[in-house]
Amino acid sequence: MKNATKITLEKILTEEKGSRADEIRLVLSLSLPAILAQLTSIAMQYIDAGMVGSMGAGATASIGLISTTTWLIGGTCIGVSAGFYVQVAQLIGARRNKEAADVLRQGLKAALTVGLLVSLICILISGKLPIWLGGSEDIVKTSSTYFFIYSLAIPFSLIRQLSGGMMQSTGDMKTPSILSGSICILNVIFNFFFIFPTRTVEVFGLDVKVFGFGLGVAGAAIATTASDVIISLIMLFMVCFKNKKIALCNNKGSWKWQGRTIANAAKIAIPLSLDQFFMCSAYVAGTVIIAPLGTVSVAANSLSVTAESLCYMPGYGIGSAATAIIGQTIGADRKDLTKSFSRTVVYLGMGLMGLTAIFMYFFAPIAFSFLTSDPEVAALGTKVLRLELIAEPLYGASICCAGIFRGAGDTLKPSILNLVSMWGVRILLAALLVPHMGLMGYWTAMAIELCFRGIIFLIRLYRGKWLKKSMVA
């Protein structure tokens, strides 16, 4: 039997026919660092939410109100990044590393330009956004402050996403995964000092005075922003100087704009960014639908999303690996491996997310005890989360399929499917159910929509119309 540590994508690409066992080992080996990073991230999100939640439901609702907008911005930035790192994956598969390094240069210029523009727009609207989202008067000011501070780090967030995606596309899942986990650890450490005032803490029976700024919600925003800036700069250094395949110091090239690279990036980025825009704007619409239910419902909804993140952790880890694998197999013109890997990825994603859903069903009350000190918020959050868990396997299918399609450069039709699913199913159902069922109505709509989305993505996967020639051929 082959040693799993010796199995690489490069080796499989040179074989006439790979085995399913080798494919599973490779997918798991590439996914594991991303899954562990997701686990670290989620653990830190729990701690982060618990720190904010200790200040009461109002603080949680202040951040929860604009969280969907931050997802919208982050999703749009992911689209820009993917436009370039998908090309890199396909070029690496074709063993054209020097050209891949030139794509990295183009991506860095685009990321900085778009990041600065988006940051400026967000700063300008930060004062009005919580009002537009229907936030109650008691949380508008703190929510606005949080969003303003968050907006300052957007260029760095885009650079971080691009750098991480570039490393993953070359097959280096470990470095970006470790750094992604580190950003969460830094965030919690900074929270400790920025959120809370100077106080006395008992350590091993001794009273220790700990300095703190006591900035509350604003402190949480500063902690998040500072963490993002630090890790984005480290990621940029690692991809530009330490990556074995596309480090700029080892691959001399031009910083001039290249028409073909930009055109290819646009084919991927525009549909994907619009997809993220419509998906996340649907989340914003959901927030608007939920907001009139009151602070408890807004807080419970926000914390339920945080709790659920433990369930889709394997899906996103496997989906990230899928983008790199599918990109390289297409770049190498191995459609047989592309088809085989796509099915391996989906089966693994669905199975693992089904298992995490079972775990979360029983763990939910304990999770909410960490996330909030408000018993009413915890009870409602547990109730709605358990309702939605039945949809996790099919949600996993949609996540993994999205990673597969992205690696193939196929983003337009999946974006249309997402648009139909989110707005035609989730938001429509939520608008009908929430007035009668409260927050339970929204999460019922979510569960139905996630099942629908998974089914239509699986249909597209098995039809095979997403398979096409490499866009960098």
Torsion of CA 403, 407, 408, 413, to 10 degrees: 40
Cα atoms in the 13 Å half-sphere on the side-chain side of 25: 16
Is residue 130 pLDDT above 50, yes or no?
yes
Task: Provide the 8-state DSSP code for 127.
Answer: T
Which tokens belong to 163? 């750098």
pTM: 0.77
Average pLDDT, the chain: 84
92: CB partners within 8 A, 6+ apart: 100, 169, 170, 171, 245, 246, 327, 328, 331
The model's pLDDT over 245-288, given as tens digits with 9 standing for 90+, comes to 899 888 888 888 888 999 988 888 888 888 877 887 788 788 88
Residue 15 lies in a domain: yes
Residue 131 lies in a domain: yes
Is residue 398 pLDDT above 60, yes or no?
yes
Among 117-121, 182-186, 191-195, which range has the highest average pLDDT? 117-121
Residue 122 lies in a domain: yes
Chain-centroid distance, C-alpha 397: 16
Chain-centroid distance, C-alpha 286: 19
Listed in sequence order, the DSSP H helices in 242-334 are: 259-290, 295-331
Residue 244 lies in a domain: yes
Residue 469 lies in a domain: no
For helices 375-388 and 295-331, the axis angle rounded to 10 degrees is: 40
Range of the domain at 22: 4-463
pLDDT at 229: 94
Domain count, the chain: 1
Chain-centroid distance, C-alpha 403: 12
Residue 210 lies in a domain: yes
Nearest Cα to Cα of residue 107 among 58, 160, 146: 160
Question: Which H/E stretch holds residue 211?
Answer: strand 206-213
- pLDDT average, residue stretch 6-29: 66
Listed in sequence order, the DSSP H helices in 332-427 are: 335-371, 375-388, 392-407, 412-421
- pLDDT average, residue stretch 314-325: 86
